Structure 1
Amino acid sequence: MKHVAFVFPGQGSQEVGMGKAMYDAYPSVKKLFDEADEALGFSLTKLMFEGPSEELTKTENAQPALLLNSVAINQVLQEHGVKPVVTAGHSLGEYSALVASGALEPIEAVKLVNLRGKLMEEAYPTGKGTMAAVLGLSQEEIERTISEFDGEETVDLANINCPGQIVISGTKEGVEKVSEKLSEAGAKRVLPLNVSGPFHSRLMKPASDDFAKHLSETDVRDADIPVYANVTADEVTDAATIEKLLVEQLYSPVRFQEILEAFVEKDVDAIVEVGHGKVLSGLVRKVKRRMKTFNVQDPASVEPLLEWYKEES
């Protein structure tokens, strides 16, 4: 039996039209989308399929849309007998991983991340916080530059994605000033990200306090399959620990590079990106160039995975 890890994309991977081909091809996907629309009280499906893009990109819409798309694809793969031995997700994607691992019910998760998105939007004034991707510097060099920054602005590490790709987050002025210093320190590029807030920084703490109250009312169960948590880069199955780490995740860095390194150490046969886009597959190759990867986002991309999975090892 092949051993595969499922990884699930986070915010930024959304695109108008995503999920449509799966919706048309699989009755179980249509049923899940219809149930999500009913639970949310508006047609997330219509927004995903028709846009407008500006509405879909809003955090409170992008998050449930990406999760719904990913968990629907996961459902199709598991119906075909493809089951992961471990899961993980990038930021928002961790919720999809928890659904795939049995810790969250799909519709509960859709409602939860819709709320999460609203709280994240409200946590810090729009336009006052931002994020930037730093290319070509080590984590140590970036941390040193941030620590030497003597301004009153907040800047934190947000995403440790892969060697040479780290995202910083904080106040707009702070990120801009630190970005200049990082360029002077030898960064190949520092790219401002098109986001609405300073996610995964200390500035999200107010959102985490509110989110914790709502999360405590959600049915979070022990995971059947280990999930690698963003906050610790360690596997977790215990429900109480999952809840605690989901709260901390809002204001803590995503340690995705360490998670991928752990998957490599577990000697999985392939890492499958379940959801729209190929961002995570690219990160996998930066961590382990020869690792076999699949991206599954439509019926056409289901088939190659099924063929390989059912081959004799």
Structure 2
Amino acid sequence: MSLICLFPGQGSQAKGMGAELFDRYGDWTADADRVLGYSIRELCLDDPRGELGLTEFTQPALFVVNAMTYRAKRDAGMATPAFLAGHSLGEYNALLAAGCFDFATGLTLVKERGRMMGRVTGGGMAAVVGLEPDRVRAVLASTDAGRLVDAANFNTFDQTVIAGPKDALESVKPSFEAAGVRAYIPLNVSAPFHSRYMREPQNQFGAFLKDFAFSAPSIEVVANVNGRPYQHDMVRQTLAEQIGNSVQWLETMLYLMRQPEPEFIECGPGTVLTKMLAQIRKRIRTAG
């Protein structure tokens, strides 16, 4: 049996998350308050200023709750996983669990990542439901507006998130409808994450990472950028590349599903990744 832990990213946050964890892991709660300069408990439980949905705050909050959730599962007797993976921001939790850096260092990285990504404006994202990834690529390649839009997240066989300028996203909608898309859903985000339009913050973050040392993963971590395990000497470069490149979540799941007797556990608030996995498995069973 191959135990595999998955860590969610933005979109899984919810007011009240981590309520049972902050007192239990007071050391990490104190570390988080020190690194962030505000109360992580107040942000997650009360969100008095309506900040939990803002990238700059969402990313640190999810990192902390994901990390504490994984720690609680290990304390409860969960075995050491054979593999780890995280969706976008969640990849930092996978690397933490693999011993690449400590909790405070990981949170410092995530704080800066969220700050840099949160400064990008002027674009958006949309979920394309009902078309396979190759069809999504073909539709985007077929028009001038489409060629301004990137596939940002390949989540399942029939759910891909695209990113780009808002007017281009609006312009490509009729093309997807003509291709038979089941749903075309604009997302409530502030920027075109995981696209060519994030290359400036990607380069800035790459420069920021040069000041940090990273240990080789002690557990295999599957990377968003290619759906394959991290090369042990490429942690810094792979983390930087993640910001401006597609999240290859479907490839990640297919790789992990090929492992001996895979058993998946989601470590974080909600069940977004568990539901995606169920959709992927259903399609494979149907096709087989």
The correspondence for 1:56, drawn from 40, 45, 52, is 52
Determine helix, strand or coil for the equivalent of 2:169.
helix
CA distance in 2 between partners of 1:283 and 1:270 (Å): 15
Counterpart in the other structure of 2:267: 274
Determine helix, strand or coil for the equivalent of 1:22.
coil
Counterpart in the other structure of 2:169: 175
Counterpart in the other structure of 2:8: 9
Counterpart in the other structure of 1:188: 182
Alpha-carbon offset, residue 282 of structure 1 = 0.3
Determine helix, strand or coil for the equivalent of 2:20.
helix
Alpha-carbon offset, residue 23 of structure 1 = 2.6
Alpha-carbon offset, residue 30 of structure 1 = 2.3
**Structure 2 residues without counterparts, runs of 5 or longer:** none
**Residue deviations 1:4-28, cap 9 Å, x none?**
100000011111110012234x2xx
Alpha-carbon offset, residue 94 of structure 1 = 0.4
Identity of aligned residues (%): 34
Counterpart in the other structure of 2:140: 146
TM-score, reference length from structure 2: 0.94
Tell whether the 8 Å contact from 2:146 to 2:172 is kept in structure 1 after alignment. Answer: no
CA distance in 2 between partners of 1:249 and 1:95 (Å): 11
Tell whether the 8 Å contact from 1:15 to 1:53 is kept in structure 2 after alignment. Answer: no
Alpha-carbon offset, residue 143 of structure 1 = 0.6
Alpha-carbon offset, residue 267 of structure 1 = 2.4
Counterpart in the other structure of 1:44: 40
Counterpart in the other structure of 1:115: 112
**Residue deviations 1:92-143, cap 9 Å, x none?**
1100110011112111111111110111122x33xx2000000001111111
Counterpart in the other structure of 2:63: 67
Moved more, 94-103 or 262-271: 262-271
Give the counterpart letter for 2:82 in structure 1.
V
The correspondence for 1:156, drawn from 133, 138, 150, is 150
CA distance in 2 between partners of 1:171 and 1:217 (Å): 33
CA distance in 2 between partners of 1:172 and 1:67 (Å): 29
| Count of residue correspondences | 283
Determine helix, strand or coil for the equivalent of 1:170.
strand
Tell whether the 8 Å contact from 2:2 to 2:259 is kept in structure 1 after alignment. Answer: no
TM-score, reference length from structure 1: 0.86
CA distance in 2 between partners of 1:53 and 1:44 (Å): 13
Counterpart in the other structure of 2:253: 260
**Residue deviations 1:158-217, cap 9 Å, x none?**
000011101000111111111221112110000011111000000000001110111111
Moved more, 97-106 or 225-234: 97-106
CA distance in 2 between partners of 1:197 and 1:210 (Å): 16
CA distance in 2 between partners of 1:257 and 1:153 (Å): 22
Cα RMSD over matched residues?
A: 1.8
**Residue deviations 1:268-288, cap 9 Å, x none?**
441000000110000111122
In structure 2, the CA distance between the partners of 1:270 and 1:206, relative to structure 1 (3 Å rule), is same
What stretches of structure 1 move > 4 A for 4+ residues in a row? none
Counterpart in the other structure of 1:130: 124
Tell whether the 8 Å contact from 2:128 to 2:161 is kept in structure 1 after alignment. Answer: yes
